[in-house]
Structure formats: structure tokens, C-alpha cells
Structure 1
């Protein structure tokens, strides 16, 4: 039996960066459209069960109901059992429940923040992230039909391992040596010591940046690394950047949609796997674009780079590998006697 999880975040792509920058809003109606195509392609790929995260808009349930009777697939679609909070923690609990239920993969609709929460709960279940958020370094823009077909070949075990499914890096936040949170793209140390608005959009508040990845075509805070010291998702290293006056470098980077700023850099360096970056003064650390960790006076906080992030599905590579193994081709056997009679 093929079993797939779907986590569609109804709040993704609606934070303050829509007001202070110029991002596109992927509304929940469009998410319903994407999920509708996901359901149809998952069923065509042989998936017989979908478990989804329940949420206040009813994205997955609405998608299933809106498929016309002529195309409605024979597939079980049911909500994961969890107590809804209406916050980002729902994505974590949904991923945890899906992993426990034995799904073959989890499809996510959201941005970096959504996928960070899923990464905390999905264990070793591979994820296929579809971009519908503000910062979209981790998820990719991919058509729902293709995403569903790729998820199906992975969930049914037709393909596995690289290049179809690859591990990813993460940053572990340690307080007094104990892990308290993670980031999958960037951890940003801010000058102020209070959370306020969760989203990060003001480069003037940044003190330090640690990234797992950063390329010139990225958008968000990791774009600073992309313009200065590019590092690919699969490379066994990250980048540590100290922001501020006193250096000889200024980087121009798109830190939000349509918002390109000049950022002064004091110094920067590549960091190796398992290397730690120490955070000493009181501050707030934003994880994948959202303020999450408060550092108080006297606390010892470190940011550690590891390669223990979630396993990620590359849809194009998964389908190429599946086709090379004969996926999508069915031999047709004709009845010779009937053909002669005709």
C-alpha cells in the first residue's frame, strides 16, 4: 500500500513581509488547486491512502470534495489525529503523527518556516517541499501534478537514495550544551533582545548570520551568504557572517521579495560540519526567518552545523530514475484470435 502525508500550511505566505516588501500572496484557494492536482497524481501513481494535517481553512478536504465525480479517484483521504492550536506547532505534530503512521513521504506546502517545523517531527521520512511561502530557499517551485507523481514513486519504494532522495543540513541551537531548536536554512542573531514581530525583514537589526546554504539566486537572509560566500545544499560546510561596520565589504542582497539592501559585513568564513558558533550577548535568534530563541544574560548558546537535516525528494531526479527502471510503461497483450475475427 502506498501512503503519503500532506501538510498544507494555511498561514504560509501571509506574514509582515507582505507589507514591508513586495512578495506574492499564494492564497489558500490556490493551495486547494495545488492539492487537488496532488491527489489526482498520487492516485494515478498507485497511492491508496493520504493522511493530511487538519487546519482551519480545510485545504485538503476542500480539494478532495472539489474533484468532479468523473475524475474522483479511489483513494482514502483522512485527517491526522492531533489537537489543533492554529499555530506553526501544528505542522510539527502533524509530521510526527504521519511518521508514526508509516507514511512513505510527506508533501509540504509552505515556506522555510513550515518546513523547519516539519523537519523537527518527520524523523527519517523524506519530504517533498512545494514552495508557497515568503522565504523559499528550502522548498522549490514545482507543479503539483509532478510533485504528486514523484512522491508516489518514493512512497511506493520504486526509488530510494541519491539522487532522488538526499539528506540535508541543519543548524542545532544549543543552550548550555542541550539542543533547544533547529534551523534548516539560517540562524540569524539579532541586536534586539525581544521577539516582537516574528518575521525578520530589517537588515539593520542583524548582528550575525549562520547558514547551511546560500546561493546567488536565493531570496531572504541567506541571500547575503549567496552573494558573498556561496555554499550549495549538498556541500559539507556552512557560512558564518558577522554583520556590521568596521569591515571593508558591503553586500547587496535581496533579503525579501523586491527588497534589496546593502549590508555591511565585518568578516565572514566557511565553517565545517560539527563546528559551533558561539553567541554571547543577550539577543534574539531568528530561525529560518522567524524570531524563536531568546538569549538572556549569562546563557551559553551555540549554533552547530550538522548534516542531520531531513531527507529531501528531488522530484525531477526521482522521476528520471523511476523511468529508467521502466516506470510509466505498461505492456499491452492482444488476444490474437479476437484480432483475427475482427
Structure 2
């Protein structure tokens, strides 16, 4: 038996960066179509069961309407709040139920809260957010196939997934939150609209991933030092000064020249202090944690982040093992074919 979880965030792809920048909108009907294709991919690999997070739009039930799949699909039963707490609780319950893969629909913020619910179940993140570094822009049918391969253990985990690190946020020595991609220290007093786009207010940034081709704050670090998803390091930048600048796409259609004062590569187990107090810490692009006067805040690089499905490697491992290839073997009693799991079945 194999169980796949689906966490589809109905609020992703709708934040203020559609007004202050040029981010594309991802409506919930498109998420319905994505889930439909994921389910068809899961069916093709022989997944038995799917459980999903209930949401106010009913993304998964709408996807099932008129769709014929021989999979048991059930909603999780818990007291929903219609906010990010639902994703945390859904991920926790999915791990408890024995899910072997979780497919998420959302952006970096969605996956951050899912990782707060579980770091043990492999996550396959499909992008439906704004600044997407953690999640993939990928055809959902292929994502469903890859998730099914992981769930059925048809490919080895070491050839199809990687373990990410995470950035722990400490207040007065206690971990209060975490980020998967970056933490930005902003000269703000309140969380307000959450999303970060005005670089004039950012004083420090910690990057768990930094690639020159990324979008969002991660693009700034990516112009100076590459930090890949599987690397046990992070990049720290102090912003400011008038001598050195980086030009980066900090939001869709929004390109900024960002002043760089200093930089440092941190290793797992190291931490650095937050210098601006009071401030607000933006986690993966969204302001979440307020640092009040008199508090001491620090960012710690921890090794035990989420396990992430690498779709390209997963499909390559399936090709190497000929998971999706079989031969007909006629015999006197009918015809045998080799199934996806390697068993011989009569038709």
C-alpha cells in the first residue's frame, strides 16, 4: 500500500507583489487542473491512496469531479483555520498516517510551513506562488509520476531526493520559527502586508539557497556566491554602503541595484546575530517575526531541513531501472507482462 499526501494552498499566488511588481496570478481553478493531472500521474504508477488537506475552495474535490481514477482519495479530518496553520497540521497528520510523499501546490511560503509539519516525508513542491525558489515550475503529470515512484519506492531515495538545511530563527536563545530559502532583516516595526519588495528597508539577509538565475531575494546572493539546495552552507550579506552593488530581480519585473557592505559563508552549526533591533524578520519572502526592543535575535544554520524530491533525478533513476518499460511474454495460458513493480502479471 502506498499513500501520497496533497497540500494545495488556495491563497498562494495572490499576494501584494501583483500590485507593487508584475507577478502573475495563479487562480484556484488552475490549481484544480494541476491536481487533476497529478492524480492521473499517481494512478499510472499504481498509487493506492491519496489524502489531502481540506481548504475553503475545495481544490481536490473539484479536481475529482468527473475524473475516473482507481485511487482511494480522502480528506484529512481536523479543525481547519483557513491560514498557514492548516498546512502545518496537514503535513503532521500525513506523516502520522504513513504518507511516503507529499505533493505541495504553493510558493516558498507554503513549503516553509509544510516543512514545519514534517521534515521526514519527502516533499515534491509544484510552483503556484510568486517568488519560487524551493518549488518547481514543472508539468503536473510528470510531478505525479515522480511522486508515485517515490511513494512506491520504485527508485532509491539516495538517487531521487536530497536533504535540505534550514535557517532557524532564535529569539533570546529559543527557536521560534524557520526558513527554507532566506531570512531578511527589515527596518519595520510591524508585519503589515508580509511580502518584501522594498530593499531600502532590508539591512541583513541570510541565504539558504542562492543561484544567479533565481527570482526574489535569493537572486541577490546568487550574483555573489552560489549556494545549491543540497549544500550544508548559507550565505550572509550585510546591505548598505556606496562602493559595491548587485543588480538582481528581487520580484517579478522588479530589478534593483542593491548595496553590499559585507559577506560571509556560514556552515552548519554556525549562527549570527541580528544587528537591527527593533526589526521584522521576513522568512522566505514574507514578514513573520517581530524583534522588539530589548530582544536578542540570531539566525542559526541547522542541518535537519526537509527531504525534497528531485524530479529530474527521480525520472532518470526510473529510466535506468526501466521502470516504465516492459516486455510481453506470451505463454499457453494467456499473456504475461512485467508490471511497474517488476512483478509478472497475467492479462
Give the TM interval when normalised to the shorter protein: over 0.9
Take 2:207 and 2:262, find their aligned partners in 1: how far apart are those partners?
A: 15
TM-score (normalizing by structure 2): 0.93
Q: Retained in 1: the 8 A contact 2:164–2:231?
A: no
- Residues 72-91 of structure 1 correspond to what in structure 2 (within 5 A)? 72-91=68-87
Take 2:222 and 2:213, find their aligned partners in 1: how far apart are those partners?
A: 7
- Residues 34-183 of structure 1 correspond to what in structure 2 (within 5 A)? 34-67=34-67, 72-183=68-179
How far apart are 1:329 and its partner, in Å? Answer: 2.3
Take 2:268 and 2:70, find their aligned partners in 1: how far apart are those partners?
A: 46
Mark the CA change 1:224 to 1:158 in structure 2 (over 3 Å): closer, same or farther.
same
Identify the match of residue 263 of structure 2 among 259, 268, 292: 268
Q: Retained in 1: the 8 A contact 2:35–2:63?
A: yes
Identify the match of residue 252 of structure 1 among 247, 265, 281: 247
Q: Retained in 1: the 8 A contact 2:196–2:287?
A: yes
Task: Work out whether 1:318 is the aligned partner of 2:321.
Answer: no
Take 2:197 and 2:334, find their aligned partners in 1: how far apart are those partners?
A: 70
> 2:20 is matched with which residue?
20
Take 1:24 and 1:151, find their aligned partners in 2: how far apart are those partners?
A: 26
Equivalent position SS for 1:54: coil
Take 1:66 and 1:17, find their aligned partners in 2: how far apart are those partners?
A: 35
- Structure 2 regions of 5+ residues with no counterpart? 336-347
> 2:2 is matched with which residue?
2
Take 2:229 and 2:313, find their aligned partners in 1: how far apart are those partners?
A: 15
How far apart are 1:323 and its partner, in Å? Answer: 2.6
- Structure 1 regions of 5+ residues with no counterpart? none
Equivalent position SS for 2:167: strand
Q: Size of the alignment, in residue pairs?
A: 334
Identify the match of residue 221 of structure 2 among 206, 220, 225: 225
Equivalent position SS for 2:329: coil
- Residues 184-195 of structure 1 correspond to what in structure 2 (within 5 A)? 184-195=180-191
Equivalent position SS for 2:41: helix
Q: Retained in 2: the 8 A contact 1:236–1:272?
A: yes
How far apart are 1:336 and its partner, in Å? Answer: 5.2
How far apart are 1:338 and its partner, in Å? Answer: 8.2
Take 2:176 and 2:334, find their aligned partners in 1: how far apart are those partners?
A: 70
Take 2:319 and 2:270, find their aligned partners in 1: how far apart are those partners?
A: 40
Equivalent position SS for 1:216: coil
Q: Retained in 2: the 8 A contact 1:99–1:123?
A: no
> 2:233 is matched with which residue?
237
> 2:345 is matched with which residue?
none
Q: Retained in 2: the 8 A contact 1:32–1:59?
A: yes
Equivalent position SS for 1:334: strand
Take 1:162 and 1:217, find their aligned partners in 2: how far apart are those partners?
A: 26
Deviates more, 1:255-264 or 1:295-304: 295-304
Take 2:334 and 2:30, find their aligned partners in 1: how far apart are those partners?
A: 49
- Name the Cα RMSD after superposition: 1.4
Q: Retained in 1: the 8 A contact 2:4–2:49?
A: yes
Q: Retained in 1: the 8 A contact 2:190–2:290?
A: yes
How far apart are 1:185 and its partner, in Å? Answer: 0.2
The ranges of structure 1 where at least 4 consecutive aligned residues each deviate by more than 3 angstroms after the TM superposition are: 335-339
Q: Retained in 2: the 8 A contact 1:13–1:132?
A: yes
Q: Deviations over 1:275-321 (max 9, x none)?
A: 10101421100100111111111212110112211000011211211
> 1:296 is matched with which residue?
292
Take 2:211 and 2:145, find their aligned partners in 1: how far apart are those partners?
A: 28
